[in-house]
Structure 1
Amino acid sequence: MIPASSSAYSQSRKFKEISYYTASSQRYYLLPFKFHRLSLEKEVIVNEIGDFLVIPTGTTSRIVAGEINPDNIADQELFADLIANFFISSTPLPELIEVLATRYRTKKSFLDYFTSLHIFVISLRCEHTCHYCQVSRVTSDKNKYDMKRVHIDAGIDIMMKSPNPHVTMEFQGGEALLAFENIVYAIERTKVEAEKHNKKVTYVICTNLALLTDEMIHFFSENSVLISTSLDGPAFIHNKNRHKPHASSHQLVIEGIRKCRATLGEERVSALVTTTALSLEHPEEIVDEYVRQGFRNIFLRPISPYGFATKSTDKNKYETGRFLEFYKKALNRIIQYNLDGYFIREDYAGIILKKMLTPFPVGYVDLQSPAGLVNNVIVFNYDGDIYASDEARMLAEMNDQTFKLGTLGESTYEEVFYGNKVSALSEVMINESLPGCSECAFQSYCGADPIFNHATQGDLAGHRPTSAFCQRNMEIIRYLISIMDEDKKTEKIFRSWITGKS
């Protein structure tokens, strides 16, 4: 209700008269940016394309109030940085607005060609009994859990319909090598179809390497297959996390890594860490093991709330704060190795740093906006069901079919990618418009994860103040910015992770 008194009304108004904003004495115009307090002494401002400046606490208020004076010697450097990095402009419309627009388009260019990664769950069988298994594996004698060739054919046909000229075909399990004959069939058929459709295909096999044979290695070499395996650290951690009856899974994976490297080359073999409660107690030892085995990168990731991982809560459940403590200790160990002359990159930090320090997009699904599910990845399950992402498939193993998009051989491409479920998902896939994300300074470095939100909070949009995804990413981003600001040697190391040059 408008107050009866016009004077009372004018006093209660939130906005000043238009003349206040158009006064000729205005030194500069504000461009869109957000800020976050890093510490008691410093804050960071971030613009729409991810450029950031670390400034003394209270500076943001001065910028917004128009108090930065280029005629003042103390403000000259700051004023120049603000202009150069598109935080303010000397004209209502920046002279380099097209440069700003081009950089924004480049950041979002991962959307240009649509789905790249096509995951084929070639078998749900596995001979390991990992307590944190996120796909609810079955024992190795149940052949009905192998992907039928009619479904393989249908998955390949959908992959060939992708508008993306460069697609990735990734084989997962269970243990994918238990269905090696079907992998051979799938790759041989894909090679024929790729030539027809003028597509370049990258092949990836996710495997524990325990079943590796010389025949398999030869096939991988002939077809330029990339190998992705799991290494959770030294033997006392790896064997506990990734149990194999009557054998040392650590010994088997190390032997497999060495054999693959000898034939395929070091750059074609990668490994992932999954952090259990046991892992959190040994961050330095895990990093040391990766260095001991000659790796130049390590991906530190928390356990996911899917599959068997949700059942062994004593081994797998831990607070996000504990993971962050582990992550920082491990990251500091990695930085020290780089300072001592051994190049090794932490991949999760590397993805975020690429978003911070370059104008280029990243292909990591969890840190994309719009979210990478469907836009960048699709999953074909062993039984022919189609899911929006690998995590969606894991939820299905827990009897939650929320993110099932169709069935191979029955659903058309249009029904899968443009159906009602994808339309509903698209409303919560953009962090620029999500509550709590839209005003976050770290928005451009983060992503949207409706599947994680659904699994942990029962809501696709999610609730940021209680989100483990939000808590983890915000603190990692804050930490990366802080240590770069405090130590230029660390910043130089981080930049080397992006370029790949030590």
Structure 2
Amino acid sequence: MSALTLIRHNAHRVDVDGYAMLMHPPTTSLFELDAVAQDVYDLFSETPAVDAEVLKARLGDRHSPDDLGECLQSFMALDILRDAEAAEIPRPIVKVEEIPLSTIILNVNTGCNLACTYCYKEDLTTPAKGQKMAFETARASFELLLKQAVDRDRVNVVFFGGEPLSNMPLIREVVAYATPRAREVGKTVDFSLTTNATLLTEEMVDWFNEHRFALTVSMDGPKALHDMNRKTVGGKGTYDLVSRKVRMLLSRYRARPVGVRVTLTRGVTDVIGIHDHLKNDLGFAEVGFGPATSGPIAVFNLDETALKRVFDDMMALGQRYVDAACRGENIGFSNMHQLLTDIAQGTKKQVPCGAGLGMLAVDLEGDLHLCHRFVGSDEPTYGNVDKGIDVPKLAAFIEKAQDRSAYGCKTCRIRSICAGGCYHESYSRQGDAFAPVYHYCDLMREWVDFGIESYVRIMRANPDFFRSQLEPRITRSGPAKEVLPQ
């Protein structure tokens, strides 16, 4: 054989409780290395180039030629090993010729009855000045969704704001139109909504229950923490009102589990205490955390030290998740659930999210944005619900987003999970939607390694947890046996 070399950015080893695990970054596939694969990997890790003589001298007395040859072929098939003289293989750019939408986000009102200090919305205003979306715009948005989702069985309409409940008449009108219209073309439509919960009534909750809305509440934990940032326009804390509405909601709503999203800001970082209050005291099904690092008012953003502490606390909560999963319990930590889903299913991202591909957001004028976060910003729009999507312009953005080679992403071990990070986070913090979220990079790599360790430990103790919770995709090719049996 000619001399081979290890392609380090295509292999990442993580040792877990005596098991040697190998993640394949291009596909996020996870393998358990057997004795042959461990020795071959270790040899290539410490030697720049290995030929047949070196392989025989170092490993010939430990493994048969057939076993070594089979392992080398497996590694080469995954591009973990490559001819030492071979040129670098550029990451392929997938051409975008159509936009197969599954989700449309309707920004139904720019008005909000709260004045949360960390809000990123650039078009936000008070309720009295709020501009509400007209039904004609919403209807045209849904028709565009149906047109672009021609090959999909299900579509999703998301109501966003401002506070979407402040335009409840439009929400009702859209549901009344979209449900039978989707049925006409052989599709099912799902509805989603994120709310601050202050305007909820029993009648609203019952109506949402009837139409099986996916509901998420924005709330930041116990009273002292929630009231630091989530205030009324007049400056009053909202915990007492929100917690009362939430208890009413959770006592009546049965259609689907209700989750809560927490924004972590400077001074609001007690991850475990917040989770325990929202999950155990109030009764939310899942709690998800979003650290604020690029909000419009810098004083509320997490600095490097606070962000590291947040990730440490998330891993501490993640360990509680693992311990519970091993017992067959789910403590409702959605960040951990998403991380393990990415690992179990072998997430392979070319771009960070579905923004611009499976999802677009619509503003009051019917203009199309990458996602709800960009509505009201100075970033370009990509067509209009009446005229249609500007496919060449949007395709150029998506194709450019796939190439992060100028930023170093192409050799990052979590590139298929992160893919550079949130466009809006980069735009807000660095003025460039394509720039990676560098302030997260090391922490995210550590978070993914923790996810790999957690995945292996749960699989060893209670594989049924994954089968019931995550339904993983199993990969059956590679240098060693897979983590999960079929």
Give the alignment's TM-score, normalised by structure 2. 0.76
Cα deviation for residue 89 of structure 1 reads 5.7
Change (3 A) 1:138 1:124: same
The 1:200/1:71 distance shift into structure 2, 3 A limit, reads: farther
Secondary structure class of the residue paired with 1:203:
strand
Equivalent residue, structure 1, for 2:368: 386
- Post-superposition Cα deviations, 1:397-421, rounded to whole Å, max 9, x if no partner, equal xxx1x23113333x224x3xx132x
Distance between the aligned counterparts of 2:99 and 2:399, measured in 1?
20
Q: Which residue of 2 aligns with 1:351?
A: 338
Partner of 2:399: 427
Give CA deviations for 1:296-346 in whole Å, capped at 9, x if unaligned: 4321221153xxx312x22x2222452232122133134226526652143
Aligned equivalent of 1:364: none
For 1:216 and 1:32, locate their aligned partners in 2 and report how far apart those are by CA, in whole Å.
55
* Equivalent residues of 1:350, 1:497 under 8 A apart: no
The answer to whether the 8 Å contact 1:352/1:477 transfers is: yes
Point out where structure 1 has 5 or more consecutive residues left out of the alignment.
1-18, 22-27, 94-107, 362-366
Deviations 1:360-410 (A, max 9, x none): 67xxxxx6637421112100113432201122225x1xxx1x23113333x
1:446 is aligned to 418
C-alpha separation in 1, matches of 2:101 and 2:335: 22
1:454 partner amino acid: Y
Moved more, 41-50 or 238-247: 41-50
Q: CA deviation at 1:262?
A: 2.9
Contact 1:277 1:318 in 2 (8 A): yes
- Give how far 1:72 is off: 4.6
Inter-CA distance 253–329: structure 2 relative to 1 (3 Å threshold): same
Counterpart in 1 of 2:482?
none
How far does residue 271 in structure 1 lie from its aligned partner after superposition? 0.8
The 3 A distance-change label for structure 1 pair 500 and 434 is: farther
Residue number among 50, 61, 66 corresponding to 1:65 in the alignment: 50
Once the two structures are TM-superposed, the CA of residue 135 in structure 1 deviates from its matched residue by 1.3
* Backbone CA RMSD of aligned residues: 4.1
CA contact (8 A) 1:32 1:47 kept: no
**SS in structure 1 of the partner of residue 114 of structure 2:** coil
2:250 to 261, 266, 269: 261
CA contact (8 A) 1:116 1:167 kept: yes
**Residue in structure 1 matched with residue 133 of structure 2 by the alignment:** 147
2:215 to 227, 252, 256: 227
1:405 is aligned, of 360, 382, 386, to 382
Flag the 1:254–1:33 CA change in 2: closer, same or farther, 3 A: same
For the 8 Å contact 2:103–2:158, the answer to whether it is kept is yes
Distance 1:75 1:326, change over 3 A: farther
Distance 1:370 1:30, change over 3 A: same
- Which of 97, 114, 119 is matched with 1:133 structurally? 119
Asked whether 1:46 is paired with 2:24, we answer yes
Partners of 1:461 and 1:490 lie apart in 2 by 36
Name 1:479's counterpart in structure 2: 450
SS of the residue corresponding to residue 201 of structure 1 reads strand
Going from structure 1 to structure 2, the CA distance change for 1:352 and 1:333 (only over 3 Å counts) comes to closer
CA distance in 2, matches of 1:332, 1:68: 42
Q: Which residue identity lines up with residue 210 of structure 2 in the other structure?
A: E
> 2: distance between equivalents of 1:255 and 1:433?
50
The change in CA–CA distance for 1:79 and 1:393 in structure 2 (over 3 A counts) is farther
The count of aligned residue pairs is 436
TM superposition shift of 1:295: 3.4
Q: Which one is further off, 425-434 or 265-274?
A: 425-434
Give how far 1:187 is off.
0.9
The 3 A distance-change label for structure 1 pair 115 and 295 is same
Return the offset for 1:247. Answer: 6.0
CA apart distance, 1:249:
2.2
Looking at structure 1, the residues matched to 12 and 138 of structure 2 have their Cα atoms a distance apart, in angstroms, of 48
* 1:500 aligns to 2:485 (yes or no): no
Please say if residues 47 and 87 of structure 1, whose CA atoms lie closer than 8 Å, have aligned partners that are also in contact.
no
| 1:165-212 CA distance string (max 9 Å, x none) | 311101011111111011101111111321222221110111111111
- For residues 88 and 330 of structure 1, what CA distance do their matches in structure 2 show? 37
Distance 2:208 2:25 in 1: 45
Higher RCO (CA-CA < 8 Å; seq separation 6+): 2
Give the Cα–Cα distance (whole angstroms) in 1 for the partners of residues 451 and 289 of structure 2.
15
Q: Per the alignment, do residues 194 and 80 of structure 1 end up closer, same or farther by CA in structure 2, a change over 3 Å counting?
A: farther
AA in 1 matched with 2:121:
V
Gaps of 5+ in 2: 82-93, 471-486
**Match of 2:178, SS?**
helix
Conservation of the 8 A alpha-carbon contact between 1:147 and 1:381: yes
Cα distance in 1 between the residues matched to 2:128 and 2:356: 33
1:170 equivalenced with 2:152 (yes/no): no
Matched, 1:369 2:351: yes
Match of 1:204 among 188, 192, 195: 192
Q: Matches of 1:250 and 1:498 in 2, distance apart?
A: 38
Shift of 1:456: 2.6
**Cα distance between partner residues in 1 of 2:126 and 2:79:** 67
- Secondary structure of 1:379 counterpart: strand
The offset of 1:142, in angstroms, is: 2.2
Normalised to the residue count of structure 1, the TM-score between the two structures is: 0.74
SS in 2 for 1:131: coil
CA contact under 8 A between 1:324 and 1:476: conserved in structure 2? no
Match of 2:103 among 117, 122, 125: 117
Q: Secondary structure at the match of 1:209?
A: coil
Q: Report deviation, 1:458.
A: 3.1
**Do the aligned residues in 1 keep the contact of 2:114 with 2:230 (CA within 8 Å)?**
yes
Deviation (angstroms), 1:275: 0.5
Q: What letter is aligned with 1:154?
A: A
Aligned to 2:312: 328
Q: Deviations over 1:48-100 (max 9, x none)?
A: 32224586995542586366677654899x9699579x43469999xxxxxxx
For 1:403, the aligned partner's letter is P
Give the whole-Å Cα distance in 2 for the aligned partners of 1:453 and 1:82. 41
**Are the counterparts in 2 of residues 350 and 498 from structure 1 also a CA contact under 8 Å?**
no
Matched position secondary structure for 1:299: strand
- The structure-2 alpha-carbon separation of the partners of 1:20 and 1:330, relative to structure 1 and needing over 3 Å to count, comes to closer
Structure 1 stretch 381-390 or stretch 222-231: which is displaced more? Answer: 381-390
SS, match of residue 441 in structure 1: coil
Give me the identity figure in percent. 18
**Cα deviation, residue 453, structure 1:** 3.1
